[in-house]
Amino acid sequence: MNNYFKKIRRVDQITFFVILSILIILLRSFNLQFTESEKYSSLIKNYEIKEHTISTSRGSIVDRNNIVLAESIPMKTLIISNKEKFLQDHLALKKLCKIINIDFEYLLKIVKNKENKRFIRIRELRLLSSDNINKISRLNIKGIYFTKEFKRYYPEGETFASLIGMTNIDHIGHMGLESSYDSSLAGVNGKKKVMIDRQGTIVKEIKELKKPKEGSKLVLTVDARLQYVAYRELKKQVRKVDAKSGSVIILDSTNGDILASASYPSYDPNDNSTYTVEAERNRGIIDSLEPASTIKPFVLTAALYSEKVNLSDRFNTNPGYKKMGRKTYRDVSNFGELTSEGVIIKSSNLGSIMILEKINKKLFYDLLEHVGFGEKINLNFPSEVEGSLPHHSDWKKTDVRSLAQGYHCRVSPLQLAKAYSAIANNGLVINPRLIKKNKIDIFEDKKYEKEFNIVKNVIKKVIDEGSAQRAAIHGYTAGGKTGTAELYIGGKNKNKYSSEKHTGLFAGIAPLKNPKLVIVVVINQPSDEKFGGVVAAPVFKKIATDSLRILNISPDNIDAYEKKVLKKVKKQNSYTYKNPEVNNVF
Amino acid sequence: MSNLKIYMIGILILANISLSFGVVYLEHLTRNKYRELQSLSNEKYNLNIEWKKASLEKGKHDSLSEIEKIAQSHLKMIAPKKREFININE
C-alpha cells in the first residue's frame, strides 16, 4: 500500500512539475506576445539583416629586400545621399569648398547636374585626408556620409614610375606592372548576409555569399638602391648632355634578375599633374633600337666560332673609308691595319664588315638568335618589345654590312643586356626575370663557351685601352662596348638615317673576373656629344661603382697606384681602417 | 502507460525545456562573442593599416634618395674624389 502511494506521489510530482513548467512557459509566452509585445517589437527593429561587403585591399609591391614600392591605404570619400538636404546650407557648403579648394559655383553646378543619381560622388571629395574629414564633419552638413576607398602610395616616386606604373582613381592599375599584374594585385571583395544592431555593429553572420580574396603581394627582383643610383645618374647625364631621353638596365648575370630598369624622363605617380605620355615609357623594355657597335663583340664571336678568323688576323682599314657596292662605309678615323681584336677595341666599322663577310651568314644569325635577338623575353610587361632579326636567308650583301655595324636589326636595351650576360657567363644564356617567384630560366648550351671567353678579354681591352676608357671602374675589372647609332628616320627618303640625331650606347660587365652585373646605358639624341663612349660610358662607370659598393662586392683590380698608397700609409704607421660602406656613401 | 515511460517523458520534457534555455543562452553568448570578434577584427585591421603607414614612412626615410638629401643638406657631406678612395682587398 505504502509503495502504491509512493508511486502515485512520484507520478503526481512529475506531472505537477511538467504542468507547472508548461504553464510557466505559456504564461511567459502570453506575457511576451501581448503585455510586452511593443517593447520587444521595438527592440527587434534595432536589428537589421543586410548584405555586407568584405572589402579587401590591393596587394603591395615590394623590391627584392622587401622595401615597399607601392602600398594602398584606406581613405574616406564623401558621398551625397540627399541632394536637397545637402544644398540647403550654403554657408556650410562655402566652407566645404574652402577646405577642399574648389569653387562654390562649380560644386553647385556638379551636384545639380547629377539629377538622376541617388548617391553623388564628386572627384574632389574623394580620398580625403583625415584633417579634412575632421573639418568637414564639424560643418554638420546634412545629407552626406563617408565611405571607405583606397589610395595608392608610391614612396619611391619618379624613380620607379616607368616600371611600376600607377593606378587610376578607381584603384585599377593602368600602367606598368600595376596594369599587367592587376588581377592578382587587386583581390576580390567578399559578401555576406549579416545581422547588424542600431550602432551598425554586426552581431551575427548569417551566410557567406562570396568569399573574399586579398590582393597578393608582388615581389620584384629589382633592388630599390640600385634603381635609385641608376635613375639618379641617368637623370644627371640626360640633363648634362641635353638629351631627349635615356634608359638604364642593370641585370644580375648570375641569375637573370633585373636589378634596375630606369627611364628618364619620368613622372611622380603620387602627383597626376606630372604625368606625360613620354614620361610613362619604360624605355629599357618597350623601346627597340639598333645596337650599333655594341653588336661587334658578337661579330667576333661568330668569326672565332667559324674558325675562319683568329685574334691575330689582320684587316686593312686604311684610309678609313671604303666604297662597297654603291655605298661608302666609314670609320671615325683612319685606324690603318688592325687585328680582329683591334677591330673591336677601336670599334672599326670597316674591320667589322670585313670580318663578317669572311664567315657564313647563318653562323652569325644562329649566334644572335642564341643570345636572344629578335625574341621576346616575356616579362609580362605591357607593350614589351620583341625587337627584330630578319632571317639570314633574306640578308642581302648590304644587309650583312649593316649588321656588321649593328644596323638592320633591333633590340631593346633589356635584350642587349641579356645578350651581354651571355658573354659574362661564357655562353650560358639566362632569360631575365622581373618577378621573384618566377623560376630562373637558363638555356644550357655551352656551344660558344671558348669564343665568349676570348671575347670577354677583348671587351676588357675596350675599356682599358680602347673607345670606352671613360667606363673604367676604379678598383674593379670591367669589360664593355660602346655604340653610336644614327637615328632611323624612315619614310620614302633615300637617306633613312639622320646624320644629326644619334643614340649613344654602352653595354658593360662588372666585375669581369667574376661577373655579377651587366649594365646597359642608352642616351637618346644628346645635343652636345654623340658618341656612346662619351655620353653613355661615364654613366656606366658611376652606376657600376655605386652598385658594386652597395652589393658589397670586393674590388678585384687594385692597381699599382693604390698598392703604392697602401704601402706608404702602412709605412707611416698612421693607417686607420675606414669601412668603405660608411665612408664611400656619397 | 508504464512508469518507465512516464519517467522518460518527464525527463525528455525537462531536457527539452533546459535545451531551449540553453539554446537561448548560447545564442546570447554567441552574439556577445561575435561582437567581441568584430571589434578585435577591426582592431587588427586598424593595426594593419597603421603598420602599412609605418612601413611607407620607413621606406621614405631609409631610401637612398632621402639619406643622400639629408647627408648633403644637413650634414654637409660630399662625395670623395677618386684620389681620396682607398680600396682594400682582404
Residues B15-42: pLDDT tens digits?
Answer: 998 999 999 999 889 888 988 888 898 8
Count of CA atoms in the C-beta half-sphere (13 A) of A385: 22
B53 has a chain A CB within 8 A of its CB: yes
Using alpha carbons, select from A6, A583, A526, A548 the residue that is nearest to residue A241: A526
Contact A155 B59 (CB under 8 A): yes
The Cα of A291 is separated from the nearest Cα of chain B by a number of Å equal to: 31
The Cα of A79 is separated from the nearest Cα of chain B by a number of Å equal to: 22
Residue whose grid cell is 513548467: A21
Show the domains of chain A with their CATH numbers: 52-219 (3.90.1310.10), 224-567 (3.40.710.10)
B71 has a chain A CB within 8 A of its CB: yes
Of B71 and A575, the one with more pLDDT? B71
**C-alpha angle A76-A79-A85 in degrees, rounded to nearest 5:** 135
Residue B38: its pLDDT value, please?
Answer: 85
Residue whose grid cell is 671587351: A459
Q: Which region, left, alpha or beta, applies to residue A226 given φ > 0 means left and ψ of -120 to 50 means alpha?
A: alpha
Nearest to A474 among B6, B68, B82 (CB): B82
Burial of A10 (0-12, 13-18, 19+ CB in 10 A): middle
A21 has a chain B CB within 8 A of its CB: yes
Q: In three state form, how does the secondary structure of A140-205 look?
A: CCCCEEEEEEEEEECCCHHHCHHHHCCECCCCCECCHHHHHCHHHHHCECEEEEEEECCCCCEEEE
Polymer length in residues for chain B: 90
Residue B73: its pLDDT value, please?
Answer: 92
Give the pLDDT band of residue A1 (cuts 50, 70, 90): low
Nearest to A562 among B30, B31, B87 (CB): B87
Give the pLDDT band of residue A559 (cuts 50, 70, 90): low
- Which amino acid is located at A222 in the chain? V
The Cα of A428 is separated from the nearest Cα of chain B by a number of Å equal to: 29
DSSP β-bridge partners for residue A435: A220
- Which amino acid is located at A543 in the chain? I
User: Would the pTM count as exceeding 0.95?
Assistant: no
Residue A570: its pLDDT value, please?
Answer: 64
Cα B68–chain centre separation: 35
Residue B31: its pLDDT value, please?
Answer: 84
Neighbours of A48 (CB within 10 A): 12
A584 pLDDT more than 50 = no
- Written as nine digits, the cell of B63 is 631610401
A586 pLDDT more than 50 = no
- The residue from A266, A293, A352, A547 that is catalytic is A293
Distances (CA, A) of B42 to A74, A75, B45: 13, 15, 5
Helix (H/G/I), strand (E/B), else coil: A139: coil
The Cα of A559 is separated from the nearest Cα of chain B by a number of Å equal to: 10
A578 has a chain B CB within 8 A of its CB: yes
Give the pLDDT band of residue A561 (cuts 50, 70, 90): low
Show which of residues 193-222 on chain A sit within 8 Å of chain B, judged by CB atoms: 201-205
Alpha carbons A177 and A218: distance in angstroms, whole number? 9
Residue A38: its pLDDT value, please?
Answer: 82
Q: Which chain A residues touch B49 with a CB distance below 8 Å?
A: 73-74
B34 has a chain A CB within 8 A of its CB: yes
Q: Which chain B residues touch A153 with a CB distance below 8 Å?
A: 56
Backbone angles phi, psi at B40, to 5 degrees: -70, -40
Mean pLDDT of A206-218: 90
Give the pLDDT band of residue A168 (cuts 50, 70, 90): confident
Indicate which of B3, B44, B55, B65 best probes the interface with A, i.e. most A CBs within 10 Å of its own CB: B65
Q: What is the mean pLDDT of chain A?
A: 88
Give the pLDDT band of residue A3 (cuts 50, 70, 90): low
Residue A581: its pLDDT value, please?
Answer: 41
A561 has a chain B CB within 8 A of its CB: no
Contact A14 B80 (CB under 8 A): no
Alpha carbons A101 and A85: distance in angstroms, whole number? 22
Using alpha carbons, select from A304, A346, A52 the residue that is nearest to residue A191: A52
Alpha carbons A482 and A367: distance in angstroms, whole number? 20
Of A544 and A569, the one with more pLDDT? A544
Neighbours of A25 (CB within 10 A): 12
Contact B10 A60 (CB under 8 A): no
Burial of B81 (0-12, 13-18, 19+ CB in 10 A): exposed
Give the pLDDT band of residue A186 (cuts 50, 70, 90): very high
Q: Which chain B residues touch A67 with a CB distance below 8 Å?
A: 59, 62-63
Count of CA atoms in the C-beta half-sphere (13 A) of A89: 15
A527 annotated active-site: no
What is this model's ipTM? 0.73
Residue A4: its pLDDT value, please?
Answer: 60
Alpha carbons A77 and A169: distance in angstroms, whole number? 12
Q: Which residues contact A125 (CB under 8 A, 6 or more apart)?
A: A77, A78, A100
The Cα of A33 is separated from the nearest Cα of chain B by a number of Å equal to: 17
Contact A14 B7 (CB under 8 A): yes
Q: pLDDT for A125-139, tens place per residue?
A: 888 888 888 899 888
Using alpha carbons, select from A437, A170, A60 the residue that is nearest to residue B48: A60
Is-contact A475 A555, C-beta < 8 A? yes
Residue whose grid cell is 658611376: A542
A236 pLDDT more than 90 = yes
Is-contact A423 A509, C-beta < 8 A? yes
Residue A574: its pLDDT value, please?
Answer: 46
A444 pLDDT more than 80 = no
B85 has a chain A CB within 8 A of its CB: yes
Alpha carbons A362 and A388: distance in angstroms, whole number? 16
Alpha carbons A348 and A370: distance in angstroms, whole number? 24
Domain positions in chain B are 3-81
Alpha carbons A407 and A488: distance in angstroms, whole number? 10
Mean pLDDT of A567-582: 50
Q: pLDDT for A332-347, tens place per residue?
A: 899 999 999 999 999 9
The Cα of A356 is separated from the nearest Cα of chain B by a number of Å equal to: 40
Residue whose grid cell is 592599375: A173
A2 pLDDT more than 80 = no
Residue A580: its pLDDT value, please?
Answer: 43
A507 pLDDT more than 90 = yes
Size of interface A-B (CB pairs under 8 A): 102
A11 has a chain B CB within 8 A of its CB: yes
Percent of chain A with pLDDT over 70: 92
Alpha carbons A93 and A90: distance in angstroms, whole number? 5
Q: pLDDT for A446-493, tens place per residue?
A: 889 999 999 999 999 999 988 899 999 988 999 999 999 988 877 665
Mean pLDDT of A387-405: 93
Name the DSSP letter for residue A33: I
Of A119 and A323, the one with more pLDDT? A323
A496 pLDDT more than 90 = no
Q: Which chain B residues touch A586 with a CB distance below 8 Å?
A: 68, 71-72, 77-80
Rg over CA atoms, chain B: 35
Mean pLDDT of A178-207: 85
Residue A7: its pLDDT value, please?
Answer: 61
Name the DSSP letter for residue A448: T
Nearest to A68 among B59, B71, B86 (CB): B59
Nearest to A555 among B31, B67, B87 (CB): B87
A585 pLDDT more than 50 = no
A396 pLDDT more than 80 = yes
